[in-house]
Structure 1
Amino acid sequence: MSLVDYLTNTQGRQERVGEIALTNCQSDRPDAASLEMLNTQSLNTRAQSDKTYHLIISFRPGELPSTETLRAIEARVCHRLGFGEHQRVSVLHHDTNNVHLHLAINKIHPTRYTLHEPYKAYRAFGELCDSLEEAFHLEQDNHHVRKTGGENRASDMERQAGTESLIGWMQRECLHELRSAHTWSKLHQVLHHHGLAIQPRGQGLVITDG
């Protein structure tokens, strides 16, 4: 799974990758867990959409929650999204001024092999984040601003959830490289380096992770 490979790659900076946790996996190594998740995904032959859910939980500058707090927040967020029983790999990154926890979640249930797609997940994040901030003594934020439009919805979701959408993540991680990619070959190379891919969908193209 290219997303897990990307998340666990230090890219020559040891401070980039922090704690790694595997949940609902038989494996005890990220690379083996990645193969385990791919095997589970292969057992669902009906799903046409992306089978991996990439979630980023960001913390304010200066906040460095304990391992126990990170695991508790991760578990509550995944449970709220309906992914409590699903396989996932979580990786803490320290390569920006605010630590952020990446989650690569298998959308395919490990025993039922059904695909779970959270419906308008960002709407549920406001109250959840309010309670998480209070429970774990994190800096309070306004999670109830509403906007419309694709990119506006993405940034709104980030504010409400303390999470980052794929749009927001791409803007932060690889926007400059994407703008400099003047050929299809270079575009695919940049996307692959960041654990992404471009795929046909309907009458257009979409960028997916995993």
Structure 2
Amino acid sequence: MIAKVGDSTSILKTQHYLIEKNPKRVDWEHPQHLASTDREFVIDQMREVAKNSQTDEPIYHYSISWDTSDNPTRQQMIQAGTQTLQDLGLGEHQAVLVAHNDHDYKHLHVMVNRVHPVKGTAWNRYRDYIKLEQSLRVIERQHGWKEVPGHHHQLEGQQEPEYGNSLNKFECAQIKKGETPLYMLIREHAEHDFREAKSWEDLHQRLAEKGLTIQRGSRGRGGKVTDGYEYTNLSKIRRDFSMGRLEKRFGPFRSLQELQQGKQLTDIQHAFACFERAHRLGRRRKARSFKKGLGKTLKALGTARKVQAAISSLLSVSTSSNPALKLAGMMGKTIINQIEQEHQRSRGRGR
């Protein structure tokens, strides 16, 4: 289980994000020391209590995410949310628990009023991360859920996780917006490629089919993966996929470009390789330029048979599932049709 604390301290803004921004993703709501989860009722009641304090930040918001291998029931999620509130010292405060259904894993949001309903004092969030992690570790073991030791607290026998396995600010913001961070997407859609690949070239081609590229780290150490827009560390996807462990399997790292440069490529294959790489890395202007160059090179072949043979030869530097190869194939078909039409017109004029 992982807990993340949100930035919003406003009743209205937090309520809007959790429920009104995208009502379809709301699975269920549960009130704590409130008679209802009705929007206006919650806002009015929390505002009324917040008036008893001088704080201008009445809301504390955090989320709890379970591993995909866990499948807690609604009641277990409510119990976990209630227990974390108790362990934080917020057990007597007004709160709303909201479960979202927009991810493959179960996750729960907790919106709680920092102001005590009787004492009128605002809860101090000092050492909140430590308290949250202590609470989650106990809950995990009670239910037999996957244990995820935190940076701030580990149970006996647990090791502190590597820094790369925690969410950064950008990834936290993505999750708050209902988006999925890149490393989670890669883990979901390409983990089997990392495990089944037999060589660097095999892995590169498998990932290229999904628009992904492995690169060396910025300081020449480690490795990262990009979809042309975002980057994530290899080790963040899985520790087994760190650059060091991949090099033990495949030998010293070589990029797809380096592997292709070691081959005797024809002009067509070289033109396609440049287009494919620019397309995969999201370099749109270069991709358009290389695509035009590839088109001109194909047209210069002159006959439909040569164009078809050239397109087939691209499989030696790509795979049939590669999106760039599919685009090149469509381009080749268009050129073949143009050549055949011109040939028919020439025969008609000859008569």
Question: How do 1:91-130 and structure 2 match up within 5 A?
Answer: 91-130=98-137
Provide the rounded CA distance (Å) in 2 between the counterparts of 1:175 and 1:30: 21
> Higher relative contact order at CA 8 Å, sep ≥6: structure 1 or structure 2?
1
Q: Is the 8 A contact 1:4 1:89 kept in 2?
A: no
Question: How do 1:160-175 and structure 2 match up within 5 A?
Answer: 169-174=172-177
Q: Is the 8 A contact 2:62 2:109 kept in 1?
A: yes
1:2 aligns to what? 13
2:45 aligns to what? 36
The alpha-carbon deviation at position 91 of structure 1 amounts to 0.4
> Could you list the per-position Cα deviations for residues 139-182 of structure 1 after superposition, in whole angstroms to 9, with x for gaps in the alignment?
12222468xxxxxxxx97x96xxxx8987532434499xxxxxx
- TM-score, normalising length: structure 2: 0.40
More off after superposition, 126-135 vs 67-76: 126-135
Q: Is the 8 A contact 2:129 2:152 kept in 1?
A: no
Please tell me the residue identity of whatever aligns with 1:107. R
1:165/1:83 CA distance change after superposition, 3 Å: farther
Q: Is the 8 A contact 2:66 2:105 kept in 1?
A: yes
1:208 aligns to what? none
Q: Is the 8 A contact 2:88 2:132 kept in 1?
A: no
The alpha-carbon deviation at position 126 of structure 1 amounts to 3.5
State whether structure 2 residue 69 is matched by structure 1 residue 77. no
- TM-score, normalising length: structure 1: 0.65
The alpha-carbon deviation at position 53 of structure 1 amounts to 0.1
1:85/1:168 CA distance change after superposition, 3 Å: farther
2:61 aligns to what? 54
Query: Number of residue pairs matched?
Result: 159
The alpha-carbon deviation at position 42 of structure 1 amounts to 2.0
1:17 aligns to what? 26
1:28/1:128 CA distance change after superposition, 3 Å: closer
Q: Is the 8 A contact 1:86 1:108 kept in 2?
A: yes
More off after superposition, 98-107 vs 124-133: 124-133
Choose between structure 1 and 2: higher strand proportion. Answer: 1
Choose between structure 1 and 2: higher helix proportion. Answer: 2
> Could you list the per-position Cα deviations for residues 80-128 of structure 1 after superposition, in whole angstroms to 9, with x for gaps in the alignment?
1110000011100111222211111000111111100221111233332
Provide the rounded CA distance (Å) in 1 between the counterparts of 2:45 and 2:168: 25
Provide the rounded CA distance (Å) in 1 between the counterparts of 2:178 and 2:19: 21
The alpha-carbon deviation at position 24 of structure 1 amounts to 0.6
Name the SS for the 2:99 alignment partner. strand
Q: CA RMSD in A?
A: 3.0
Please tell me the residue identity of whatever aligns with 1:9. E
Q: Is the 8 A contact 1:129 1:143 kept in 2?
A: no
Structure 2: which 5+ runs fail to align?
1-11, 154-161, 180-351
The alpha-carbon deviation at position 17 of structure 1 amounts to 0.7
Structure 1: which 5+ runs fail to align?
147-154, 177-210
Provide the rounded CA distance (Å) in 1 between the counterparts of 2:169 and 2:51: 24
